[in-house]
Amino acid sequence: MHNSENALPAAGSSDELPLLSASTRMKVLFAGDNRTNVNWGRGASIALGQLLSQSFEITGRITGDFFALTTAEVGYVGTFIPPKLFRYLLLRPWRRSFAWYVKLEHFFGAKDFITEDPAVSIDNLLAHKHRHPALSRIYDQAMEADFLLLDGDGDIIFTTPPRRQTLFLLAMIELGIRLKKPVFLVNSMISDCPSTGRNKATLAAAKRLFPQCRAVSLRDPESLEYVQKEMPETNSTFIPDSLFAWFSRYQSRSSYPPLDGDFLLPHPEKDEDWGKLDFSEPYICIGGGALASGQPEKAARSYARLVDAMKPFGYRVYLTENDLPDSFLRRVAREKDVGIIPVDSPILMCGAVLAHARLFISGRYHPSIFASLGGTPCIFLGSHAHKMGSLSRLLEYDVHRRFNAFPDNPDIAEIVSMAKSYLDQGEPLRARIRRVAKLRSDESIELPAFLKRHMPGRPF
C-alpha cells in the first residue's frame, strides 16, 4: 500500500490506450541512453536511439550517468538545504572541507532516492519530485510518453551489494507500471554475479516486475535462457545488441580509419599519443576488460607480456582504451612504445580501427562487436558475467574459449597459437565473420517492428 500523498493521476489500463492514426508517431521515454558515458559501448546507445527514431518520437531521455550517480543531478533526497546547493557541495572537486556537512546530512536522513526496493524508490521519487528538478523531469517525461523503453545493456547483474544501475532500471519499470504505461526492457544482458553469487532480493524484484513489462528482449542466448528459467511468465525473446545495426556503416572503403592516426586523436591531444598510429599498414589491436581494470597493476604486467607475444607476427600492435578504467593500458603503451587509441576518440573512428584490424584481443563486449562488423577475428578474455562467452556463441565461433582476464604464460602461448590460426585463415575467415554479423544486424534492426507488435491497442 502506498501513501496517498504519492498518489498518481488517474489513468486507464495500458490495454486501453487510445488508438493513434497511422501517421501519428508514438512518444517514447528512452531510459538508459549511455551516449554520455565515455566508454565505447556508447555506440550501442546511439544505434538504439537511431532505430527508435525511425518509428517513434523520443520525447525524453534518462542518461547512463544518472544511473551511476555521476551526473550533477544526483537524486539525493531528504536534505535540509536546497537540492542544487547540496549537489554542488557533494560533487565539486574540492568538497573535502565540507565533507563533515555531507555526513551530517546523511545522519539526518539525506539519501539516494534509489533503494533496493523499486517500490520504495518510486515512493521517494513521488514524494520529493517537487523539490528536485531531476526527479520531476523523470516523472514528467514518463507522463508525456506513450511508453517507456529501458536499455538494459550490461547493467542487470544480480550482484551483492546490488548495482545502482540495476536498481534504477527496476525502479523505472515500477514507475511505468504505476503510470499504466507500456514498458519494454530491451538490449539487455541478465546474469548472476560470478564473483558474489546471486542477490536473491534483487532477483525477486525482477521476478515481480519483468512479467509486467509488455516484452523483454535479451541481447544474447544465455540471458534469454536465464529469464526463461527464472522468470518464465516474462514475455521474453532474443534480439541482438543494437550495435550490430551499424553493420552497413563498415562495409565500404570510406569506413577505414585515416592512414595517419593523428587525425583521430581527441581533444586535448596529448604529446605522448602523437606519431604512434599508422593505419597504412596491417595491425593488431589489444583492448582491456572489466575484470582486468579492477586490478590495474596486475593487468599491466599481463598485457605487457601479451604485447610482446604479438609483435613477432610482424604487424603493428595498438592498444585500445575502450573504457576509462582501461587507463592501465597507457602505462603499457609507454613501456612497450606502442600506439594507443584514446577512450574519448570519435566513436565511429573507434569502430573503424577495430573493424579493419587483423585481430582483436579483448575482454570488452561492444568493442568486440565493432571488430566483428568488419570481419576482424576476436580472441576473448574473461569479463563480468557471461558476456564474452555469449558473444562467442552469438558470432558462431567454432571454439568458444574465454582466456583468463590476466593471461599468464600458458594462456599467452595458447593465445599466440589461436592468433596464428586466425591470421593464417585471412579473408575467408573475415568473410565468414561478416556474414554472421550481417545476420545479427538483420535481427537487430527488427526491434522497432517488435515493439509495435507488442504495443497494446495499436493498429500496426
Here the contacts of 135-139 (C-beta below 8 Å, separation 24 or greater) are 135/75, 135/77, 137/60, 138/62, 138/175, 139/175
293 vs 296: CA distance, rounded Å? 5
* Spatial contact of 415 and 307, defined as CB atoms under 8 Å apart: no
| CB atoms near residue 64 (< 10 Å) | 24
The Cα-based distances of 459 to 252, 446, 456 in angstroms read 38, 18, 9
| CB atoms near residue 132 (< 10 Å) | 25
Assigned CATH class of 4-75+113-239: alpha beta
pLDDT at 384: 75
* Residues ≥6 apart with Cβ < 8 Å to 453: 460
> What residue spans in the chain does CATH classification 3.40.50.2000 cover?
249-440
* Spatial contact of 359 and 284, defined as CB atoms under 8 Å apart: yes
74 vs 72: CA distance, rounded Å? 6
pLDDT at 338: 97
Q: H helices then E strands: how many in the chain?
A: 17, 14
* Spatial contact of 383 and 293, defined as CB atoms under 8 Å apart: no
| CB atoms near residue 35 (< 10 Å) | 18
pLDDT at 199: 95
Query: What is the fold of 249-440?
Result: Rossmann fold (3.40.50)
The residue with cell 527464472 is 230
pLDDT at 6: 52
pLDDT at 36: 87
pLDDT at 93: 44
pLDDT at 387: 84
pLDDT at 24: 83
What are the backbone angles phi and psi of residue 163, rounded to the nearest 5°? -70, 140
Report the greatest alpha carbon distance in the chain.
Answer: 71
Helical (H) or strand (E) element with 437: helix 409-444
pLDDT at 88: 52
One digit per residue, the tens of pLDDT, for the chain of length 460 reads: 344 345 554 444 445 554 454 458 999 999 999 898 889 999 999 999 999 999 999 999 998 777 665 443 445 554 445 555 555 544 444 434 444 444 444 443 456 789 999 999 999 999 999 988 889 999 999 999 999 999 999 889 999 999 999 999 999 999 999 999 999 999 999 999 888 889 999 999 999 999 999 999 999 999 999 999 999 999 999 999 999 999 999 998 889 999 999 999 999 999 999 999 999 999 999 999 988 998 999 999 999 999 999 999 999 999 999 999 999 999 999 999 999 999 999 999 999 999 999 999 999 999 999 999 999 999 999 887 788 888 999 999 998 899 999 999 999 999 999 999 999 999 999 999 999 999 999 999 999 999 999 998 754 4
Peptide bond into 161 cis (omega under 30): yes
pLDDT at 65: 73
